[in-house]
Amino acid sequence: MYLPDVKLARMPADNPVSRIQTIAVTSGKGGVGKTNIATNLALALSRSGRTTMLLDADLSMANVDVLLGLHANANLMDVLACKCDLEEIIIEGPDGLLIIPAASGNKVLTELGALECGGIVHAFSELKQHIDTLVIDTATGVSEIVTSFCRASNHVLVIAKNEPASIRDCVAQIKLLNNRNAIAHFHVLANMVHTARDGLDLYSKILELLGDDHIAAISYAGFVPYDNSLHKAVKSHKAVIDAYPESKSALAINALARRAARWPRPGFPHGQLEFFVERILQQNNVETEVLS
Ligand SMILES: Nc1ncnc2c1ncn2[C@@H]1O[C@H](COP(=O)(O)OP(=O)(O)OP(=O)(O)O)[C@@H](O)[C@H]1O
Ligand SMILES: [Mg+2]
């Protein structure tokens, strides 16, 4: 695919603005809006001038490309099989958003051997594009690969909606990621709520259920209201911020993007996205071997 020649000046590594912002979007329960939030958030960040990449890491059921009405001809597995380069599988979405489609219906990343993992690291190291922000749409729950993506990211954005099962699973996911995986900070986003008050109530319930003994720092990332426009946008294979830019969900997601852009970025210097991938693979206790 054609990669736009974005000429970003290389900034010194100790300049916080020169760091890649990595945001994992996850949830304890499925169907709460991860893919829609991740996609629209990435698009809003891309539109604001950041070179943004959206990684569809829901390896069991890829759908970022479907949501945006794009067609992925190849995926990470094809890169590993040396059928194509990483550059060739990147799809350019609206507003220059770069999308890495998932390897859906295929072997999952956790099952890969050391050589294949090394191949992924190598592929990222070959990527010429300088990425400013990486947004990851993870699968649901606490599988090894979900926890790996969350641990490797600077920020974990947990999506919950106001129903008992979603609240319960959100609390369970945060506890597990915190206790067993040492993730210390979570942003909680209330999705599909009716009012700002409902969003805050949902957040309070989550804090209450987490109790005093949890050591994670939790912050409220705000809310995205229930909005038929978002639903209509999905049906027409468009992101809501594109299809209905003045809708209440689009305005809320744009506000979320403005806040997320200010989140600290302790991560990786520009051009070193492969370190992020390496970290994921190491956390999966896979002995990585970088091919050269
Ligand atoms: N704010 C919202 N208002 C109205 N509908 C919404 C909103 N957010 C999500 N939805 C609807 O909820 C459904 C699930 O959304 P989405 O696919 O983004 O969830 P998910 O968490 O990625 O699901 P999965 O666990 O299957 O990956 C979609 O049909 C979408 O239209
Ligand atoms: Mg999804």
State which of 170, 202, 234 you would mutate to test the pocket of ligand 1, scoring each by most atoms of that ligand within 8 A of its C-beta. 234
Is a pLDDT exceeding 60 seen at residue 9?
no
Question: 84: pLDDT confidence band, cut at 50, 70 and 90?
Answer: confident
Does ligand 1 have an atom closer than 6 angstroms to the CB of 51? no
Q: Looking at the CA of residue 37, tell me the nearest atom of ligand 1.
A: 18
Does ligand 1 have an atom closer than 6 angstroms to the CB of 36? yes
CB 86 within 8 A of CB 79: yes
Closest-approaching ligand to the CA atom of 159: 1
Is a pLDDT exceeding 50 seen at residue 119?
yes
Give me the pLDDT at residue 222, please. Answer: 97
Closest-approaching ligand to the CA atom of 162: 1
pTM for the complete prediction? 0.85
Give me the residue spans of the domains in the chain: 19-282
Does ligand 1 have an atom closer than 6 angstroms to the CB of 223? no
CB 192 within 8 A of CB 160: no
Give the angle 86-4-108 at the CA atoms, nearest 5°: 25
Q: Looking at the CA of residue 140, tell me the nearest atom of ligand 1.
A: 25
Q: What is the pLDDT of residues 164-215, one digit of tens each?
A: 999 999 999 999 999 877 788 999 999 999 999 999 999 999 999 998 767 7
Quote the tokens at residue 83. 């059928």
Q: Looking at the CA of residue 235, tell me the nearest atom of ligand 1.
A: 31
Is 141 or 189 the better-scoring residue by pLDDT? Answer: 189
Question: 82: pLDDT confidence band, cut at 50, 70 and 90?
Answer: confident
Neighbours of 163 (CB within 10 A): 12
Does ligand 1 have an atom closer than 6 angstroms to the CB of 56? no
Is a pLDDT exceeding 80 seen at residue 256?
yes
What is the percent of the chain where pLDDT is above 70?
74
Q: Give the type of residue at 208.
A: E
Quote the tokens at residue 37. 């939030």
Give me the pLDDT at residue 55, please. Answer: 85
CATH architecture of 19-282: 3-Layer(aba) Sandwich (3.40)
Left, alpha or beta for 187 (phi > 0: left; psi -120 to 50: alpha)? beta
